[in-house]
Structures are given as structure tokens and as C-alpha cells.
A and B are shown apart, each in its own frame.
Chain A
Amino acid sequence: MKRVCFFLLLVALNSACQNAVNNSPIRVGSKHFTEGYLLSEMIALLIEQEGFAVERRFHLGGTMVCFSALEQGEIDLYPEYTGTIFAEIFKLPGNIAMDSLTKILAQQTLGMSGSYGFENTYALVMTRKQATQLSIHKISDLTSHPTLRMGLSYEFLKRQDGWESLASAYGLRQSTFGLEHGLAYAALQQERMDVTDAYSTDGEISFYDLVVLADDKQYFPDYQAVSLYRKEIPARAIQAAHKLVGRISETEIQGLNAEVLFNKRSFEEVAKEFLLHKKLIDTSEQSSPSLDILHKTLTHLKLTFIALLLSVAVAIPLSVFVYWYGKVAPAVIYATGLLQTIPSIALLAVLIPITGIGALPAVIALFLYGLLPILRNTVTGLRTIDPSLKKLADGIGMTQWQKLRYVELPLAAPAILSGIRTAAVINIGTATLAAFIGAGGLGEFIVTGLALNNYELILTGALPAAALAILVELFFEIVQRLVIPKYFRPRS
């Protein structure tokens, strides 16, 4: 038992040291959607070309997660849209010039690049067939067709610059219903609805040959694609990222999005190909995908085991306390049980304002989830020890601590170990969700796969995670055989 703990401690220390040695790589963030991945990958490649190490912290949920990560210095830069910066982040009404936005950002020691050359605005789209039939070309044309069915994404229905203010600006009276954005294009094709909201650069627009209705009253603010960055990162890195400025047209980005979405190619590959095509980078070496899986698996294990060590370090003393002072038992077990019922995604979200993004909140969440199984098993293990052995220990004059050390903990060891085993397997599964907050691990494949609707990618993450869970089971099976002598197994 001692040896195993020592080994686990070594593993944790080793990984902690490795993290410290890396001389601060540039951390590139990305929101959780196709275009975000493409742009972030391009920026990462450009910075790497300059000889910097780059840490890719993609899959960072939405705008607020990314922006607060940038503010708190958890990431160094990420691509954003000007309209989003002032409407969603600064909650400013109306349109604004890029210069004034740059000034506002400068107060927070943040910098903003020029536009990449395209705008990704909200737009209303409909099929070409229907648009021609009804001769609708711009949003104001919709006022004369109040019976059209508007299927809108939940985000657009809720946003400040979303449906409600758009409808009042144009005087639209159509009734609306909400649906998942990914389903909207299919629903349009099947004529289940007539109009939906879209991003103007969505690959689907050209793929399905949809008509983008002109924003004739210029209701939507500018959504120029730009890089947001922290000013303290090396100037050469900023310059490298700025190479994208003015280089991507709206048609080009639509094409790239469609390439990932419909031809099922990886965003890394598409991004690299585009930069090569534009002669922005010159190397074409491929990173090995199997190494990538190995690397992510190691990160996954690291997260799980550090969290597990912490759970063990807290849960076992807590169990002894509960065992000695039986009255607190229901309260403590109830409290840890309550932690267990918090959905993992919610817990991670709650932790971000406190700890930022990355490995720390992930480890904290996994640590909390690991407490209950270990606590419950240890307390049960201690309570179910043959009372006559406890009496014997008292009778030969052991102190309370001696009884714990020589008799109770060793006899409860099988139960404790099975609690740790349960916690480890739970953690392997839960750790896949940590990718949402930039902690890395096998979840990255799954999260990216979900965003790109790519089942192969989802399986690339899910299968090793499942295999890992099985391996951890086997590992503990072996540990149990080694650590727990035969006297606990039934007599043959």
C-alpha cells in the first residue's frame, strides 16, 4: 500500500515539474465552433513558424469563457468578432468604429488586430427557390409575408442583438420557434420552415445554395473577425498572428468551413493547407495523429490521478474522523453525496470565475467527485471490522491511533481500495468533460467531434477513454491482489 501511494506521488510530482520547466508557451484559445478552430489553428501555426512553443487551448465553450480567460491571463490570444466584443462583452448599444473599440480594449491591456478580411455577421437566410418565388431579397421584404415560419436558434432568440430587437427595428410580426442551429439547415431543405438565422460565413450557405437576406436597415453591427491578444506577449508572436489580417475573404472562409463540415477533413489539415496556399507558412510536416492520442491520453491520466491523490488524501482522514465521531457521519456523507449530484458541466462552469480555466478547475471538480466513493467505502470498511478484533486491540493496550494504524486501517484496506477504484473509474469518464474548459485530455477529440459533427473524431476520444477505464480497473485488480493478502479472500 505504501509503495503504491509513493509511486502515485512520484507520477504527480514528475508531471508537475514538467509543467514548470516548459518556458511559457504562447497559449492560443478558441471558441467551440468550426470557424473558431480553423482561425485559431492558423494563428497557432503562424506563431509556431516564428519558433515559439504554442499551447492550443481550443474548445473553450462560448464568448464569456474565452474573454475572461484572456483577461485573467489563462490564454494569450484568440479570434473574436468586433460586434460580439462590444455587444456581448461590453454590453454597448448600437454600432461602433474599430478605433474606439481598440481604445476601450487598451484600458484593459488588451490589443486587437485589424480585420482578417471578412465579416461573420448574423444573417437571415432562406432557400433560393422560395426567395425567388416570393421575391424576397432583403430583411425588410419579410414584412409583407407575415405568415412565414421563422425557426431560430436559441441563442439568437435570447441575444441582446437578437430576434426581439431585430423584429422591432424592421417591424416583423412573424411567429417564431426555437430549434438547435445544427438542425435548421435540414429543416429548411425539407420545407418545414421558411427562414432561419445563420452566420454569414457558415459553410452550409453555399452548400445548400441559400440566399442571405440583405440587412438593408443596417441593424446588425459589424462582426469583423480579428485577433484579441494580451499586450505583454512577445511582439514577434503578435506580428506573426497579424499575418492573417486582410488575407481571408468571406467566400474563402465559407469554403474552408464547408471543407471541414462536409468533406469531413480535420480543421488542422484545412488550416495548414490554406496557409500553405497563401504562402504564409512554408513547412508541410505532419504531426503524427497517434502521438497526439498518446499525448492526450497522458494528460487525461495526469488529471485523473492528481485528482485521485487529492481525494484519497482528504477522504481517508475525513473517514477516520467520521468513524470516531459517529454523530457527524450523516452530515459529512450527505454533503459529499450532494457534491456528487451536481452535473459535471455545471460544476466546471461554477469553478471558472474562481479558478480560471485549464487543469486547475478540472482537477478540483474531479477531486470533489472522488470524495464520496472513497469516504463511503472507508467508513463502511472501518465500521464492519469484526468487533472482537477491536476488543482484542483495546484489550492488549493499544491507543486509539495504534488501533487505527495496526488494526483498523489494514483490515479496512480492501474496502478503501475498492472505493479508490470506483473513484478512479468515475474520474476517467468525467475527465472527458474537462476539455470544455481547456484542461485537455481525450475529451478534446470528443468535444471537437461534437462541434464538427464528426463521429470518427468522437470515437477517437471515446474509445481510448473507455479503454483507459478498463485498464484502470485491471490496474486496481492487480494492486488489490498484490497489496491485499490472501486472508481476506474466502478460505478454500
Chain B
Amino acid sequence: MSHAILFEDVVFRYHPQSQPLRLNVALADGQVTAVVGLSGSGKSTLLQLINGMVRPEKGSVSVLGHPIDYTRLQDLRRKVGYMVQGAGLFPHLTIEKNIGIASRIMHEPVSEERINDLMEQMGLPRSYRQRHPYQLSGGEQQRAAICMALYARPPVLLMDESLSSLDAITRVEVQGQLLALQEHEHCTVVLVTHDMQEALRLGDQLLVLNDGSVQAFGSLQEVRSSPNEHVQKLFAYATQMKPKSTRP
């Protein structure tokens, strides 16, 4: 299995005094990697290292086989879809303009077919194309945001707490549609979430961050059986069980 994203001896910190984030991880092609951890553990920073929004102090990040060229970030970002928490769409553009914006910034003709196709797969009626985001419900907005992120067929999709503002039922629905679409498009997804349920449901692989370092990384089974105390705590809380280590 080849690697879509490779962190080699990466060290990053926001301030010289702050705790560094250290990464030495390879994320496999075509997989969904769910990154979990407490607030401030460096989850969002990990995503921003992938699309060059932040630059490592040491080490290198490679995306799709090439180390990031920080002088040509726009090229990289057009291959890496990015969804941030809360704002996934531009409020002043219609849904179709939002979804097709990648074509506009690359000076290419917008593919109507692709827009229709994506909207259909995410369960959005075609009549929504002319609407503005404020005319859609939260769940519909998130679906449209996913369409927008995937429009240009990016090989990599980064999701930063993208679904966390949805109610539980809608979230499960959108998660299902996202998974189906991801499989269909065969894209590599890196998903940051504080919700263990979501991580377990979507992730092929799980990456647990704490205090700026990787506590565990691998398939669900592998991580679950990790002796790491922090990892055990996370699982315990997610499944409403007592921590393993305190069992008689």
C-alpha cells in the first residue's frame, strides 16, 4: 500500500515556548484516517501541516509522493480538499457557485454534470443549486460543503470537525453518504474529530494524539489493544465502560 501522506521527523510549534507537535507517520492511500485526541493535542495543526497552512520547524511533509513545495502552495491546495469547522460554504455565493468554485479559480469551465452528480450522491435536490447557504438547513449545508470539497476530485480530503455541529441523527446520515462517496471517488480522507463515535464509524485507521505526540496509530483493533493509558481512557469514555486497567 502506497502512502498518500508522509510525515518524516516533523517538529512544529506555534511559539518557541509552546509544546512541540512531533509526527513520524505515513497515511495510506485511499483510506480514511480519523485523528482523535483532546482539545489542544494538535489535531487541527496536523491537518494544516498537510495543506501547508503551517510549516514544520524540522522534518518534512510529503503529499502524494512529493515533499511540499512551499513556494507553490496554491497547486498543492487545489489537490487537497479542505473543510473547516462551521464555515464550509461562502455565504454570498449560491450552492452551485460554491460547489464549482474550484473551476473558477483554475479558470476552467464549470462542469454542470459533476455538480449534479455530487449533489445527487449527497441527497441534495437539484432545485437547491440556485439557493444561498442561509436557505439550507445545517445538515444540507454540510452536504453541500462536502460536494464543494470533492468537486475537483482531490486525491486528498481534509476534514476539521466538519460534522460536529450537526445533530446526532443528521450526522449519522451525512457520515453514511460521505463514506459511500469516498469509496466511489477513492480519495484519501484525514478526519479530525473529538467524537469517538464518529472516529470509530468512519475511520479505517485511528490516530490518537496527546500532548503533541502520537499515542497510537493503526487499525481499529490495533489501537484498541494498545496498552497506552490515554488510548484506553478515550475508548472507555466512548463506550461508557470503566477503564480496563481498573478492572479486577
Contact = CB atoms under 8 A, between A and B. Distances in A.
Interface of A: 386, 388-389, 391-399, 402, 406-407, 410-411, 485-488, 491
Nearest to A393: B90
B82 interface: yes
Contact of B90 (A389, A394, A395, A402): A389
Nearest to A389: B87
A392 B134 contact: no
A397 B76 contact: yes
For A393, A396, A402, A486, which residue has the most chain B Cβ atoms within 10 angstroms?
A396
Interface bracket on B: 20 to 34
Interface of B: 51, 53, 73-78, 81-82, 84-88, 90-93, 101-102, 104-105, 132-134, 149, 158
A491 B136 CA distance: 12
Contact of B133 (A391, A393, A406, A487): A487
B77 A411 contact: no
Nearest to B158: A395
B141 to A, nearest CB: 12
Contacts of A396: 77-78, 81-82, 101-102, 105, 149
B82 A395 contact: yes
Contact of B91 (A394, A398, A402, A487): A487
A353 B203 CA distance: 76
Given A393-B90, A397-B76, A410-B92, 8 more contacts: A388-B86, A388-B87, A397-B74, A397-B105, A406-B101, A407-B90, A487-B134, A491-B134
Given A388-B84, A395-B53, A487 B92 contact: yes
A246 to B, nearest CB: 74
A486 B131 CA distance: 11
Contacts of B76: 397
A406 B88 contact: no
Contacts of B86: 388
A392 B53 contact: no
A411 B92 contact: yes
A416 to B, nearest CB: 13
Nearest to A394: B53
A398 B152 CA distance: 14
A219 to B, nearest CB: 76
B105 A398 contact: yes
A260 to B, nearest CB: 59
Contacts of A391: 53, 84, 87
A486 B134 contact: yes
B77 A397 contact: yes
17 contacts: A386-B87, A389-B90, A391-B84, A391-B87, A392-B84, A392-B88, A394-B53, A394-B77, A397-B73, A397-B74, A397-B78, A399-B105, A406-B90, A411-B90, A411-B91, A485-B132, A486-B132
A398 B88 CA distance: 15
Contacts of B134: 486-487, 491
Contacts of A398: 74, 105
Contacts of A392: 82, 84, 87-88, 90
A391 B77 CA distance: 12
Nearest to B75: A397
B53 A487 contact: no
Closest 5 CB pairs of A and B: A397-B77, A395-B82, A397-B78, A388-B87, A397-B74
Contact of A485 (B73, B74, B92): B92
Contact of B105 (A389, A406, A485): A406
Contact of A395 (B77, B93, B104): B77
Contacts of A395: 51, 53, 77, 82, 84, 158
Contacts of A386: 87
A318 B132 CA distance: 31
For A389, A394, A397, A411, which residue has the most chain B Cβ atoms within 10 angstroms?
A397
A489 to B, nearest CB: 9
A93 to B, nearest CB: 72
A401 to B, nearest CB: 10
Contacts of A402: 105
Contacts of B51: 395
Contacts of A388: 84-87
A2 to B, nearest CB: 14
Nearest to A400: B74
Nearest to B87: A388
B50 to A, nearest CB: 11
For B81, B132, B134, which residue has the most chain A Cβ atoms within 10 angstroms?
B134
A75 to B, nearest CB: 51
For B51, B73, B74, B104, which residue has the most chain A Cβ atoms within 10 angstroms?
B74
Nearest to A411: B92
A391 B84 CA distance: 8
Nearest to A399: B74
A395 to B, nearest CB: 3
A377 B69 CA distance: 37
